[in-house]
Structure 1
Amino acid sequence: MTSVDTRVSAAREPSPTRGWLAVLAVTLGIFALMTSELLPVGLLTPIGSALDVSEGTASLMVTVPGLVAAVSAPLVTVATGHIDRRLVLAVLIGLVGAANLASAFATSFAIVLTARFLIGISVGGFWSLAGSIALRLVPEKHVSRATAVIFGGVETASVLGVPTGTFIGDLSGWRTAFAAVGVLGLVSLTCMVCLMPKLPAEHTIGFADVPKVFKGNAGIRAGIAMTFLVVTGHFVAYTFVRPILQDDGVADSMIGTLLLAFGLAGICGNFIAGALVAKRLRQTVVGISVVLTLAMMLLVSVGNSALTAGAVLVLWGLGYGAVPVTFQTWILDAAPDATEAASSLYVSTFNLSIAFGALFGGLAVDRLTVTSVLWFGAALAAVTLLVVGAARRGGSPHAPSHLG
């Protein structure tokens, strides 16, 4: 998303075939990274049981990498500013592979959390650098399409990584699920080393650029606020979707199927939002807020069988699948002349929201009830509507250009 590589040399026209292979390698890497970050969501109960911790404590497996990624996004971008981008990305994806394999063989929860800390470093750094790598991999006329493919790795992992990991965990145990993602990380490393060209650093951002774009741009502030509310609200509840469904009497054997339905709906939501945001960005944000609020309220207030829970999760998946592309578009439209700093801020906020959502949800589950997280999540998603309204009234000259 944030990149230190912002210009393509006019004298160089990348090979389309090799460039696209490199794009696919980066996409596979970001899919592996984001799947790693969210993998515990569908496996909290078995991991907690195996390592003798509560579900609230087990949610730290989501909180820790989210917090670390929020910090590492700008830090890694600035600290590695003069290092070949291929080398940096390869090291980060290799670290994720090793950390997941360590989790698969962990004998204590402390070891798992240490591995999750390392994953957080990789997620923040890799995501920040990978977004505009397409500028240097493919010819200029293909850049927008290649960038969409790379972002698709984030979105696909968000909506399919959890159900796939849950399926593997249900079939062969949670350790197998971690091992599978670890192997995927190492495969991604191999693809990057073999398929990506050398990418010497060309431009860096400074630490001062990030707060500067936030303070001076009302559109960015609105986008960051909405991202925080929606993503935090989602993960407050979604981190505990497995115990929520279990409390409703849904059989363990059906949970993986229901999460797969969520993921497939999310893919559809991503494409629907992608078709709308160019001309209807503000309306798409409103739609996301309404759909997420409604889905969480339905899941807590309706007596759910596997069928009704599946229908609600499809609605939820449609809403959340639209989130990454919609808010990424808002942020980039709000700061067309400072995309690096704005994107770095967005990556930090997104991951911080994942961490806060899982942490706050864990506290609510341990102190209140499992279903309480659905009410909290719905409330945060609903508050987003107020921010959208305030952004319209603000009328900042820096507001997004596609507000519709």
Structure 2
Amino acid sequence: MSTTSTEPRSQVRAWLGVAAITASLFVFVTTELMPVGLLTPVSAGLSVSVGLAGMMVTLYGISAGVGVPFLVAWTRTVNRRALLATLLAIMALGNLVTAVSPNFPIVLAARLVTGFAHGVFWAIGVAMAMRLVPEEKASKAAAVVLSGMSIATVVGMPLGTFIESLTDWRTTFLIWSGLSLAVLLAVVLALPSLPSQSAIPVREVFALPVRNGRLRVVMTTVALYVLGHFGAYTFIRPFMEQRAGASAAWVTGLLIVFGVGGAVGNFVAGHTVNRNMRATFVVACTGLVASLLLLLLIGGSPVGLAVAVVVWGVSFGAANLCQVNMMLAAAPDTFEAAMSLNTMGYNISIALGALLGGLFAGGFGTTGAVWFGVALTVAALLTAFASHRDTARA
């Protein structure tokens, strides 16, 4: 009788914990992307150019990637609930400092520190959610957490821009500071104690790909599809405007559709990845290739553009869930350390993808950036096909 009544309560507590981690991802991603919609008022308010104001995003992304393997290793003995609460406290403080900052250098310093916190969250957050639920539900928990990224894209960024239009950019960051504190409270109340697992010293972190061939293949595959995706996605707005004559409202609507598609892809892959992980990733990567080809073939019409964006969003969401499970399968005993390397590689690939895509766009127009995306996602697909058959199941 006692066992029967206690088990549902423990399951509810577990999924409340997953929800708190999902809310954490929402806060981190919106904090990362919110300056994109606020560049003009921020640049005017701090008397810097719009281009220089864009460093708020660039510096955040660099620190989120480069520092994470070191930080995860250095905090390897810290209880993960306490570490996540600390990361959210840093996020709240960073947004508060940004809101009251008298000059741009202080804003950049705050963004740099919060970027480090963001990177550590990516390394530990999904793993924490997967530990809260039974093993057979781990992929579903990962899918729920990753949906926070899609929700941030669909709701968070436009909401930040809307709040700024009603108030100002400083008030927007101040509200996000308060939201970070609210999520911190949810984490403290909903999550049980989670002692550190599978964390290793820094010197061993960077030796992992050398010793683990399967991990090396997964990291290479992830880097390739992320390079291809962001090489094309960075220039999706000018592509839409030039090829399909899309208005600003139409572009915004399609980007929202992309975010919704990403959430759908997460949940669909959450149901299929346990049955056949390799096949799920191959299908997702094939969808990425197909969506970019559809952009080139039928992206000149509104309907064709919408179809391509839907396929792209669903495929990218599914691929993102798969890569987490692929990392777990490749390095089950050192998952956090492997995820820290993956986070570093993922963020560097975002930056390089945007840079290389820009070179192709500059030389061949926006279609050049899309063709770059096709080439890199095809390379990821071929790498997945060539990988060892034991990557088929978690």
- Give the TM-score band, short-chain normalised: 0.7 to 0.9
1:380 and 1:106, CA in 2 relative to 1: closer, same or farther beyond 3 A? farther
The match for 2:230 is: 235
Cα contact 1:25–1:192 (8 A) shared by 2:
yes
Q: Which amino acid counterpart does residue 23 of structure 2 have in structure 1? A: L
For residues 210-251 of structure 1, give each alpha carbon's deviation from its aligned partner in whole angstroms, at most 9, with x where no partner exists.
233311222211110110011121122223333433444322
**Could you tell me which residue of structure 2 aligns to residue 52 of structure 1?**
49
Displacement of 1:143? 5.1
SS at match of 1:304: coil
Matching residue of 1:124: 119
Once residues 117 and 208 of structure 2 are traced to their aligned partners in structure 1, the CA distance between those partners, rounded to angstroms, is 24
* SS at structure 1 position matched to 2:391: coil
1:389 aligns with 385
Displacement of 1:161 in angstroms is 1.7
> Would you identify which runs of 4 or more consecutive aligned residues in structure 1 move more than 6 Å?
105-109
2:50 alignment partner, SS class: coil
Matching residue of 1:145: 137
Q: How does 1:357-376 map onto structure 2 within 5 Å?
A: 357-362=353-358, 369-376=365-372
Structure 1 residues 158 and 372: CA distance shift in structure 2, 3 A = farther
Alpha-carbon separation, structure 2, partners of 1:300 and 1:96: 40
Residues in 2 aligned to 1:373 and 1:47: alpha-carbon distance in whole angstroms:
29
CA distance in 2, matches of 1:105, 1:374: 40
Q: What does 1:95-244 align with in structure 2 at a 5 Å threshold?
A: 95-103=90-98, 113-134=108-129, 137=132, 142=134, 144-145=136-137, 148-153=140-145, 155-168=146-159, 171-173=162-164, 175=169, 181-199=176-194, 201=196, 204-244=199-239
Partners of 1:275 and 1:378 in 2: CA distance: 27
Q: Unpaired segments of 5 or more residues in structure 1?
A: 1-13
Ranked by relative contact order (alpha carbons within 8 Å, sequence separation 6 or more), the top structure is: 1
Instruction: Name the SS of the counterpart of 1:250 in structure 2.
Output: coil
| 8 Å contact from structure 1 (residues 166, 177) kept in 2 | no
Partner of 1:253: 249
CA displacement 1:281-301 (0-9 Å, x = unmatched): 333222222221232233345
Secondary structure class of the residue paired with 2:387 = helix
TM-score for both structures, normalised by structure 2: 0.81
TM-score normalised over the length of structure 1 = 0.79
Q: Secondary structure at the match of 1:355?
A: helix
Quick check: 1:59–1:358 contact (8 Å CA) kept in 2?
no
Shift of 1:191: 1.5
- Partners in 1 of 2:369 and 2:204 — Cα distance? 36
Change (3 A) 1:179 1:295: farther
CA pair 99-367 structure 1, distance change in 2 beyond 3 A: farther
Offset of residue 318 of structure 1: 1.2
Q: CA deviation at 1:316?
A: 0.6
Deviation at 1:59, TM superposition (A): 6.0
Cα 1:353–1:205 shift into 2, 3 Å: same
Q: Match of 1:299?
A: 295
Residue 73 of structure 2 corresponds to residue 78 of structure 1:
yes
Sort the Cα spacing of 1:402 and 1:365 in 2 relative to 1 into closer, same or farther, 3 A: same
Contact 1:33–1:96 under 8 Å retained in 2:
yes
Cα distance in structure 1, aligned partners of 2:53 and 2:94 = 17
Tell me, yes or no, if the aligned pair for 1:163 and 1:256 is still in contact at 8 Å: no
Q: Which has the higher helix share?
A: 2
Question: In structure 1, how many angstroms separate the alpha carbons of the residues matched to 2:55 and 2:101?
Answer: 16
Deviation of residue 310 (structure 1)?
Answer: 2.1
TM alignment of 1:28-39, pairs within 5 A: 28-39=23-34
What whole-Å deviation, never above 9, does each CA across 1:68-103 have from its counterpart, x for those lacking one? 222332222221233343332112112223334555
Q: Structure 2 regions of 5+ residues with no counterpart? A: 1-8
